[in-house]
Homo-oligomer: A and B are copies of this chain.
Amino acid sequence: MKKLITPQATINVQVLLTGNELMSGVTTDSNSAMIAEKLSTIGMALSRKVTIGDDMDVLVQEMEALSLNSDVLLVNGGLGPTIDDLTSEAVSKLIGKPLVVNQQAIAHLESWCEARSYPLNQANRKQAFLPEGAKVIANAVGSAVGFSVKWNDCVVICTPGVPSELRVMLDREILKLLMEDFPNAVAPSITRLQLFGLGESGLQQSISDDFPDWPANVEVSFRAGVPTLELKLTTFTEEDEPEKELWKTKLLLNIGDYVVGEGSTDLQTEVVALLADQNKTLTTVESCTGGLIASKITEVPGASAVFQAGFVTYSDDMKNQLVGVPDSAFKANGAVSEAVVREMVIGGLKISGANFGVAVSGIAGPDGGTDSKPVGTVWIAWGSDDRIYTQRLVIGRNRKLFQLMVSAIALDLIRRLLLNIQEPPVYFSTYQ
């Protein structure tokens, strides 16, 4: 199997990240990873990233040095309305052109403020001053437009630091612009699979073991997310694409049960889609996850077609009162027990009238653990009026990660049920 490598960039792209918050440790930069990932889809790779604080002289110096050595310099941050947003002025100094009111930028600001009934104040107006001759890059979601200039034979592109704004600007404007400027870059063909329930190293090992003849021209790489793991298959020429499809098919025969979906599909989106396809509804009865499963489901547009009610039954009393868990169920083994989660899901199904239900009760910690039920212990029940399944797991993480993993597992068990997957997932043996 081929090692993950940065593809040999024919086009030299460098990134300059600016902002004191990036230097002080206050903010972790996720923008440059986003930039790298999106540029890779058009066949471009980063060769260097430089991060500096909000200092005019340093900014101008660094832009000069980087532009001398790049085909493309992407500057990120410093386009906001405040006094420490220096990028426009720095570019103006760099290229020796004055800052002037840009008509496109001012029109954008006016309509942006109007749509929000904000007054267009002096601070905002500052965002319309761009270096003379700069080409505006539209910002569909924020007040600050981006812009580009040419300097030292390098395309200098200035972008906002707010990740949601950067994302939209890359998708709608910058990638297009770069493809026009550099028509010879070859975009790799990428297939992304989202997996749940397999770890990166285990998966890597099993691919090496099961596919000793994996071809070098189909690159395999991973990105460990929470809670899903992304597996990426990449080919760099058109002729290699059919081979990628062939090996994807082979791979799916092995690990298909763990594939939540292609592209950026997540667990909740897949569960809502499966329920909608089958014209079924789901209910949730949550103790230790405290509403997180329901909130994940209702994050998905159109969830109302498949989800009508959820219960957060955090205390024993409320487990009884809201979904009718009988006192007797608590007697033998307390609230974190098979008997209780079974009654929780039965009660939830009955009251909501949903076709499927999932219930969880566990010890999220940091307190409340015992020898027989350590922190991280959770009972899950899921199923329908026809049949209820139960499972005990111990997920020894911190409170937030525990809640996140239990919610993901609950969604995955519903996904497996809807797909009629018989084989129990490996996490049943991993978390014990």
Chain A residues in the interface with B (C-beta under 8 A)? 3-6, 20-30, 32-38, 40, 45-55, 58, 80-84, 115-117, 121, 123-124, 200-201, 204-205, 221-223, 230, 232, 284, 286, 288-295, 297-299, 301-304, 307-315, 317-318, 321-322, 351-352, 364-367, 396, 399-400, 403, 432
**9 extra interchain contacts, Cβ-Cβ under 8 A, other than A290-B307, A298-B403, A310-B314?**
A5-B20, A23-B49, A28-B30, A81-B201, A290-B297, A291-B293, A309-B312, A309-B322, A318-B352
Contact A3:B84 (CB < 8 A) given known A49-B50, A312-B284? yes
| Contact A54–B6 (Cβ < 8 Å) | yes
Min CB gap A309→B, angstroms: 4
| Contact B314–A123 (Cβ < 8 Å) | no
Chain B contacts for A400, CB-based, 8 A: 299
| Contact A308–B303 (Cβ < 8 Å) | no
> Whole-angstrom distance between the alpha carbons of A24 and B46 in the complex?
7
> Whole-angstrom distance between the alpha carbons of A47 and B104 in the complex?
35
Q: Given B23, B46, B364, B367, which contacts A45 in the complex, CB threshold below 8 Å?
A: B23
Number of copies: 2
| Contact A28–B33 (Cβ < 8 Å) | yes
| Contact A24–B50 (Cβ < 8 Å) | no
| Contact B48–A50 (Cβ < 8 Å) | yes
Min CB gap A394→B, angstroms: 10
Chain B contacts for A432, CB-based, 8 A: 117
> Whole-angstrom distance between the alpha carbons of A232 and B24 in the complex?
12
| Contact A4–B33 (Cβ < 8 Å) | no
| Contact A205–B123 (Cβ < 8 Å) | yes
> Whole-angstrom distance between the alpha carbons of A262 and B54 in the complex?
26
Q: Given B4, B20, B47, B293, which contacts A21 in the complex, CB threshold below 8 Å?
A: B4
| Contact A315–B304 (Cβ < 8 Å) | yes
| Contact B366–A301 (Cβ < 8 Å) | yes
| Contact B20–A36 (Cβ < 8 Å) | no
The closest CB in chain B to the CB of A432 belongs to B117
The closest CB in chain B to the CB of A83 belongs to B3
Q: Given B20, B36, B297, B299, which contacts A24 in the complex, CB threshold below 8 Å?
A: B36
Contact A23:B47 (CB < 8 A) given known A5-B54, A403-B299? yes
